[in-house]
Amino acid sequence: ENLTATTDVDWTILVELDKKHFLHPTSSIKEQQKEGPALIFTEGNGIYLKDTDGKEYIDGLSSLWNVNIGHGREELGKVSMEQISKLGFSSTFATFSHEPAIRLAAKIAEITPEGLNTTFFTSGGSESNDTAFKLVRHYWKLRGKPEKKKIVSRRKSYHGVAMGATSATGLKPFRDFTTSLAPDFYYVDSNLEEFKAFIQKEGAETIAAFISEPIQGTGGVHLPPQDYFKEIKAICEQYNILFIADEVITGFGRTGTYFGVEQFGIVPDLMSVAKGITSGYAALGGVIISSKIHNDLIELSDGLFMHGYTYSGHPTACAIALKNIEIIEREGLVNNSKVMGEEMLDGFKWLQQEHEIIGEVRGLGLMGAIEIVKDKKTNERFNEPFAPKIVSESLKRGLIHRGVVYEGADTLIFAPPLIIDKYGINKMINILNEAIGTVNRECSV
Ligand code: PLP
């Protein structure tokens, strides 16, 4: 096989090469060795992905919650070609800069909540969170409080897989993958009392920051309790604890507002972004900091800012992000996410009435979840989770979505591209109706 060829591909050979040479992220290695990749995608268009057999699938999770503007956007191909041809790469270290990064940083200041005005660029969400953790500790050190270094996150949270990001992740299976984690990370449940008790026990003078996703994504699309964030933010202010919003999934329109925090009426001190910033067309992330933190950094800086990635502010990624944001605004995708999100939730409620194994359904914008239960009244779960079976029945029928089974969950989660219309939502709901019905029938015989 000519490995650099792009035509006349023999897929059976590629399956063998995949098994032998490709270690897949967040995967079951045993399953890959037995079956090879379940699907090899070749094309994408709108809400659809196409595989090697030409079969089309609705991309019900926007791939990894990131392809917000949908697949196959030629405008992004054009902007990439133009930028690569003009300036494929130049550094932003020290005093060097370039136009796409400058314009993107300014555009981000325009669209993020008031007070968040300065961006440090990364290549993705994990790097954004690791940057945020280092930055808040650096900040407190400059303010003469080097002992303020503990980072508090919530159980069921997901913040990525870099060393700091893994250590902040509340989902235990991700932490258990390795042995030593970074020090000074702590977890609390999603209630105010535990957070307050934690502060009392450890002392506010040892706590640098609290980090949270506005809506927990990977953990199973969990919405926060009513007024939770307003109260948490007030406690953080009272005790001089910085609030980091992890908007890696919820940013750029996913929840029906530009950023997730807007749903809860709070402005964080730092915000991590990635994914939807380019809709996945290039690897880019960022940490956006408040003017207060930025000004303090300027005033108190005691030397160089010793943190930066080679690809911080990659020109092509930034040019793609700018065009992606232009499309989000031009096509009104933030509002479409709100309107279609309501449509999707109505669909889930209809499914809930049709199927006795559906418990709670929930969602905000185009982020939603369906709980699978044995008993609607008691919320008792089945001994073996049903979600993986439903996911595979959906796949047969042309819908990709995810099942969450970590830590006793049995949950279906969804996040279709923000361009989805009523027809697309109906198609998703119809496929789910059949998939859930089939699994329920098979399991009750
Ligand atoms: N934070 C959140 C909330 C995420 O959902 C993710 C990825 O799913 C990350 C951080 C990590 O981002 P990345 O995979 O780009 O490193």
* DSSP calls for 19-36: HHH---SS--HHHHHHH-
The answer as to whether 345 is a domain residue is yes
pLDDT at 5: 63
Report the CATH number that the domain containing residue 176 is assigned in CATH: 3.40.640.10
pLDDT at 218: 98
| Co-location of 307 and 225 in the same domain | yes
| Co-location of 159 and 59 in the same domain | no
CA dist., res. 363 & res. 431, Å (int): 19
The answer as to whether 105 is a domain residue is yes
Q: How far is CA 365 from CA 29, 137, 215, in A?
A: 34, 34, 11
Q: 424 C-alpha to center of ligand 1: Å?
A: 26
- Ligand 1 atom 8: residue of nearest CA: 160
For the chain, residues with pLDDT lower than 50 are: none
| Co-location of 305 and 190 in the same domain | yes
CA dist., res. 367 & res. 345, Å (int): 9
| Co-location of 316 and 350 in the same domain | no
pLDDT at 309: 98
| Chosen domain end from 277, 295, 330 | 330
Q: Is the pTM of this model over 0.95?
A: yes
The answer as to whether 2 is a domain residue is no
| Co-location of 323 and 352 in the same domain | no
| Chosen domain end from 297, 330, 363 | 330
Q: Mind listing the pLDDT tens digit for each residue in 115-132?
A: 999 999 999 999 999 999
pLDDT at 433: 98
| Co-location of 440 and 293 in the same domain | no
| Co-location of 234 and 284 in the same domain | yes
pLDDT at 327: 98
Ligand 1 near 248 CB (within 6 A)? yes
Q: Mind listing the pLDDT tens digit for each residue in 41-59?
A: 999 999 999 999 999 999 9
Q: Report the amino acid identity of residue 37.
A: P
How many independent structural domains does the chain possess? 2
The ligand 1 atom nearest the CA atom of 125: 12
Report the CATH number that the domain containing residue 348 is assigned in CATH: 3.90.1150.10
CA dist., res. 40 & res. 120, Å (int): 35
pLDDT at 9: 81
User: Residue 283 belongs to what domain range?
Assistant: 74-330
CA dist., res. 82 & res. 330, Å (int): 21
Q: Report the amino acid identity of residue 238.
A: Q
Is residue 309 within 8 A of residue 127, CB to CB? The reply is: yes
Candidates 248, 250, 270, 413: which one to mutate for ligand 1, based on the most atoms within 8 Å of Cβ? 248
The ligand 1 atom nearest the CA atom of 216: 3
Q: 305 C-alpha to center of ligand 1: Å?
A: 24
| Chosen domain end from 304, 330, 356 | 330
